[in-house]
């Protein structure tokens, strides 16, 4: 596949930032019957592999702290970040601050949940992010991140931010 390059050299946006919220550092050891056995590192390695095939650059950030996630989202304004993949973990269901940060930077994002939150406790059914996301992926296990990267690349190609082939075409 043709490499993706930033179409607009002034903007130079060539990166997708993968944001991981609280407790996702314990992936692979926490509630493995729900979240599976991939660790965060092994997941990111697989994503790295896949992103090379797509020709897109991924950056990664995990924090257990709401404010640090807000700071990281804001920092993306100063970087060549074209959009986010975000699993905000439990903050999905509570955080107006993360919602406002995402609205504030005004970049597209795809919300990911490893588990099917709709098949779980009712407090997990509400998301402060879903209605402003450009896509939502739930219940596909850690494979959902890969789907999310492809979907976001596809959206960015169609929006003219990334040059190259639409991986979903």
Q: In the complex, which residues of this chain contact ligand DQA (CB under 6 A)?
A: 23, 87, 89-90, 92, 113-115, 117, 124
The whole-angstrom separation of Cα 57 and Cα 61 is 14
Smallest distance from ligand DQA to CB 15, Å = 22
Q: By the 8 A CB rule, do 4 and 14 touch? A: yes
Smallest distance from ligand DQA to CB 87, Å = 5
Residue 35 bears catalytic tag? yes
Measured from the CB atom, the residue of 29 and 166 that comes closer to ligand DQA is: 29
Burial of 113 (0-12, 13-18, 19+ CB in 10 A): buried
Measured from the CB atom, the residue of 105 and 140 that comes closer to ligand DQA is: 140
- Of 35, 44, 128, 145, the active-site residue reads 35
Angle between helices 143-158 and 40-54 (to 10 degrees): 30
Smallest distance from ligand DQA to CB 47, Å = 15
Measured from the CB atom, the residue of 21 and 55 that comes closer to ligand DQA is: 21
Residue 65 bears catalytic tag? no
> Listing from the earlier edge strand, what are the strands of the sheet with 109-113?
57-62, 15-20, 81-87, 109-113, 135-138
Smallest distance from ligand DQA to CB 69, Å = 13
The whole-angstrom separation of Cα 56 and Cα 47 is 11
- Of 44, 93, 113, 118, the active-site residue reads 113
Active site residues: 35, 113
């Amino acid at each position: 596949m043709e490499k993706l390059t930033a179409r607009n050299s002034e903007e130079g946006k060539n990166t997708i930032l993968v944001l991981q919220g609280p407790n996702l550092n314990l992936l692979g050891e926490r509630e493995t019957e729900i979240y599976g056995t991939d660790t965060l590192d092994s997941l990111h390695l697989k994503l790295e592999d896949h992103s090379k095939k797509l020709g897109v650059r991924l950056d990664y950030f995990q924090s257990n702290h709401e404010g640090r996630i807000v700071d990281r989202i804001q920092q993306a304004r100063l970087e060549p970040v074209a959009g986010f993949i975000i699993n905000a973990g439990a903050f999905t269901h509570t955080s107006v601050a993360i919602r406002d940060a995402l609205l504030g930077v005004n970049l597209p994002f795809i919300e990911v949940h490893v588990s099917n939150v709709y098949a779980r406790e009712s407090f997990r059914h509400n998301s402060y992010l879903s209605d402003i996301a450009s896509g939502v992926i739930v219940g596909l296990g850690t494979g959902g991140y890969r789907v999310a990267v492809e979907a976001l690349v596809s959206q960015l190609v169609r929006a003219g931010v990334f040059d190259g082939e639409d991986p979903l075409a």
